Structure formats: structure tokens, C-alpha cells
Amino acid sequence: MKRTTLLSLSLILVLCALGASCSARRPATSQTPVPPQMSAPTSGYQRISIPALPAFKPQQPKRIQLTNGMVIFLQEDHELPLIEGTARIRGGSVSEPAQKAGLVGLFGEVWRTGGTKSQTGDQMDDYLEVRAAKVETGDGPDSTTIGWSCLKSDQDDVFRVFVDLLMNPEFRTDKLDIAQQGDFDAISRRNDSAAGIAGREATRLAYGADNPYARMDEYATVGAVTHQDLLDWHHKYVHPNNMILGVTGDFDSAAMEAKLRTAFESWPKGPQAAKENIQFARAKPGYYLVPKDDVNQSNINMVALGTTRDNPDFYAINVFNEAFGGGFSSRLFNDIRTKRGLAYGVGGGIGANFGHPGILQIQAGTKSQSTIEAIRAVDEDIADLATHPVTEAEVKHAQDAILNAFVFRLDSPDKILGERMTYEFYGYPADWLDKYPAEIGKVTAADVNRVAAKYLHRDQMAVLVVGNPMEFDKPLSTLGPVKELDIAIPPPPGGDRSVNGGPAK
């Protein structure tokens, strides 16, 4: 967690420094080569012929399962003299105890910085940096990761460090302390940015504030994490039968397989990570306000619970999202941004994740003085779906966009490896992506309008505004009863200590 925070802080600074500004904003979507079906030439671009895309059979990684349950994928890629590996291990922050929220974030950092029994993290830094190599660990809601990246010629040296860290981490307490201080800092800064508040609080409204996918680290919960907790976590989860290892780069698969078998075959099985049974409450509809008077733009997030990717409606949902809230062609972009000039960033859709429901979300950023106007404009666009259903032409356009861009899901060996590891992790069929284009192609306008009606209910959405209500065009309460969210940061236990100017209120 902390690493991501720092990374984003420094990125923010560097990005601002560059003064970069971007004109388009297209959420990452998916997509496939499809025969061009250009209609009768009327203007210049339509006269240009589009040849068939050359046949392309992307190389699939080799899957190996060891007797101890460890799954390995090997994906050769000889473009550059590099080798990289990533292990994904079951068990993440949703499985940590609520009173120790932040434990897995600390684990993901201190696993690496705390070193091994034979080498401190600092010694490891020196050893790796002169080789421009990396061994890094990380954390997420349902897994932790450990990986390496190095020159082919350093593979043996670096892989040795990787294995040592995988099996014998020490989690030294001086590094735990640094990581905790970093988390305290991130907590103290979490109300500095309106966009940060909006993203976090929208997730809490969609999933429920106590849901493990939404809960926040606090001074008390981070402070409660001990060295023993990190050792215990490693002991509980880091076993071959909980792990998927993917290796890509400039190697010979047979030789690599032999090396990995030598390293891991004799590693005994451990207890299987339990699958979490997490309840997702429906969002409580209504209007929610976080007043922030140092901004001149309102962050509007309208949310409800989304779905998972194994839902048979997933493909129709994808097409709907593209047509309604995706790119340049979408209804929201065309109406809210282009026609009304109300927002720079606007978009959304019915979110679908692999392992747990995504968030159905529509977002827009608009000046304080058009806050209510923008919410009403989004409302109209949603209501319009009933009176003006998504047309055949819109569906065709969305399908073309998705299918013609599908090749970008497969255009490098490491992307394909990443996809396969994801399906393996979440128990999806190995050929899940192969079926994707055909499934998208089958979606009809009736399907799209059916999923819109099934999932997108304006009256079931929670509407969050983070902004300066003194400058709104009308009070938010003209739309309905408003609940003001308390985002005050609970102070560190014992009233202490070193938090600048007291905890931000």
C-alpha cells in the first residue's frame, strides 16, 4: 500500500512538473481483429481500403504443475536479453483482521526491505542495484507478489536472491518501523486531494464501509501490526500450493523448467489458503456530500454494486459500457463533455472484476457552479436509455471498437502470460480470452438494452459529491435528502504524536 502511495505521490509531482495535459481520456477497455466492413465510400477516409490483418497466432506459455501444487508458466521472449519472474500468492488484505488493517500492505513492503536471514534488505539493495536488477514484493486485496527482473547473464545470481527472500524472509523491525511511519504519513495525507477522497468514499459507498475491499488503514490498525504478524502471515500463506509463478524472457523453457524443478520440487505443501466469503451489501441510495472548500471543481461519483466477469451478461455489459460511458463515441462523453462542455473527465459503466464484484460507477468532474446541472445531465442520459435504447448502429460501433482493438490484448508475450496467470488465479478457463471475440460478436442491441435495464437503476445509486457547497449552482438537497460524510481521520491512540498540526479534520 505504502509503496503505491509514494509512487503515486512522486508521479503526481513529476507529472505536474512536466506540465503535461492530455486531451483524450479513454478508460482501458478491451478488444479483435474483425474483417473491415466499411460502408459505401462517401468521404476520404472511407475510400481507403483495409487489407486483412495478417494471421497472428500468439504464443501461449507452457504450464507446469509440480507435485506440491505449485503452478508455473514459462513464456519465452527472445527480443531482449532479459528474464523476469513474478509469483502471485493467495491471500491478501481482504483476509487481514479488521483491527490490523494495513497488515498486508506492511507485509508487501517489509518482505523485501526486511531482507533474509543471510542478507539484510540494505545489502540486497547494493547487490541488486549494481546489476540493474530488481527483486520486489507487493500486495493486493487477494494476493501478495514477489518477483525478479534481470539481465539474462545475471539470472543465477538474482534468482538465488529471489528464492532466499521467498523462503527465508526476516522482516527486520527497523524496516517495519519505516514502513509504519510511511503508512502514518499516507493516512495523514489522505484528505489532501479531493480526487483521492472521492475515489475512496465512492468505493466505501458501493461496497459498504466495513467491507474488506473498502476499509481504510488507520493509525491504530497500522500501529497494531507486529513483527510476529508478518512472520505469521508468511508462515500461513507462502506455500507452493498457494502460488502461481510466471517467468518470461530470453531462456530455453526446458532448461528453465529443470532449474525451477530443482529449486521448488522438494518444497513441501502447506495449508491451502481459505477462500474468503465476503458479503457485499447493496449501496444505500441517496446523496452524500463531503464539503471541501479549497476546490473549485466538484468530484461527482454515482455508484452501485457491479458484477463479476464470469457473469454470462459480461459481454453485453462490455458492449454497453463502450457505448454508454467508454471512449469518444460514448453517450456520456458526447453529451456531458462535448455538447455541454461540463466536464473534462466523464465516463463510467458497469464494473466487472475477476474475483469479486466490480463497481457500477459514473464519474464526472465539473465546476462547483454546475454541480447540480451535471448530476441532472447524467440523470437525463441514464433516463434516456429507456426512451432511446442503444441502437444497432451504436452496438455495431462498440463491437468494432472492442474487436478491432482486441489484438492489443495479445501483442506481447508478457501480456499473454499475465492473462493466463489471472485466469489460473481466479479459476477461469485457460481459453477464456480466446472465446472473448466470438462472445462480443454475438451481442445484440436487445442484449445491450436488457443489461442496461437489469443493472443500471438510477434510483438504486449512491451519489457522492466532493466539492465546495458554498459555490454550487443549487443546494445538493434540491435533488433529495443529503447525508454529510464524516471523513475526519481518527487520531493515533493515546492522543499523540507527531502528526502535523493535529490530525486533519
Query: Between residue 16 and residue 55, which ones bind another protein under the rule CB under 8 A?
Result: 16-28, 31, 33, 36, 43-45, 48-54
> Which CB sits closer to another protein, 195 or 479?
195
Q: Of 108, 208, 240, 437, which lies in the binding site for another protein, with binding defined by CB under 8 A?
A: 108
Q: Which amino acid is at 163?
A: V
> Which CB sits closer to another protein, 134 or 376?
134
Q: Of 222, 305, 343, 385, which lies in the binding site for another protein, with binding defined by CB under 8 A?
A: 343
Residues 116-175 binding another protein (CB under 8 A) are: 121-122, 125-126, 129-134, 136, 138-140, 145, 147, 149-151, 153
Residue among 404, 414, 406 at smallest CA distance from 59: 414
Residues 275-314 binding another protein (CB under 8 A) are: 290-297
In angstroms, the CA 108 to CA 110 distance is 6
Residue among 499, 487, 488, 466 at smallest CA distance from 183: 499
Q: Distance between terminal CA atoms of the chain?
A: 22
Lookup: cell for 56: 497472428
In angstroms, the CA 37 to CA 32 distance is 14
Closest approach, Cβ 297 to another protein, in A, equals 4
DSSP conformational letter for 272? P
Closest approach, Cβ 371 to another protein, in A, equals 12
Stretch that binds another protein, among 2-10, 99-107, 383-391, 431-439 (CB under 8 A): 2-10
> Which CB sits closer to another protein, 314 or 354?
354
In angstroms, the CA 485 to CA 462 distance is 12
In angstroms, the CA 325 to CA 307 distance is 17
Contact letters (x/-) for another protein, 465-504, by CB under 8 A? ---x-xx---------------xx--------xxxxxx-x
Q: In what order do the strands lie in the sheet with 243-249?
A: 62-65, 71-76, 243-249, 82-90, 143-151, 134-139
> Which CB sits closer to another protein, 51 or 268?
51
Bridge partners of 247, per DSSP, are 74, 85
Residues 397-436 binding another protein (CB under 8 A) are: 397, 400-401, 403-408, 410-412, 414, 418, 421
Closest approach, Cβ 466 to another protein, in A, equals 10
Closest approach, Cβ 453 to another protein, in A, equals 25
> Which CB sits closer to another protein, 79 or 459?
79
Lookup: cell for 254: 526446458
Instruction: State yes or no: residue 460 binds another protein (CB under 8 A).
Output: no
* Residues 464, 465, 466, 469, Cα dihedral to 10°: -150
Instruction: State yes or no: residue 333 binds another protein (CB under 8 A).
Output: yes
Neighbouring residues of 84: CB distance < 8 A, sequence distance ≥ 6: 147, 148, 149, 150, 247, 248, 249, 414
> Which CB sits closer to another protein, 480 or 502?
502
In angstroms, the CA 319 to CA 489 distance is 40
Q: Of 232, 266, 328, 475, which lies in the binding site for another protein, with binding defined by CB under 8 A?
A: 328
Q: What is the largest CA-CA distance in the chain?
A: 75
Q: Of 60, 224, 259, 344, which lies in the binding site for another protein, with binding defined by CB under 8 A?
A: 344
Instruction: State yes or no: residue 191 binds another protein (CB under 8 A).
Output: yes
Q: Where are the alpha helices (DSSP H) in 136-272?
A: 155-167, 173-188, 194-207, 219-223, 227-237, 253-264
Closest approach, Cβ 48 to another protein, in A, equals 5
DSSP conformational letter for 352? E
Closest approach, Cβ 261 to another protein, in A, equals 22
Contact letters (x/-) for another protein, 212-251, by CB under 8 A? ------------------------------------x---
In angstroms, the CA 158 to CA 124 distance is 10
Instruction: State yes or no: residue 4 binds another protein (CB under 8 A).
Output: yes
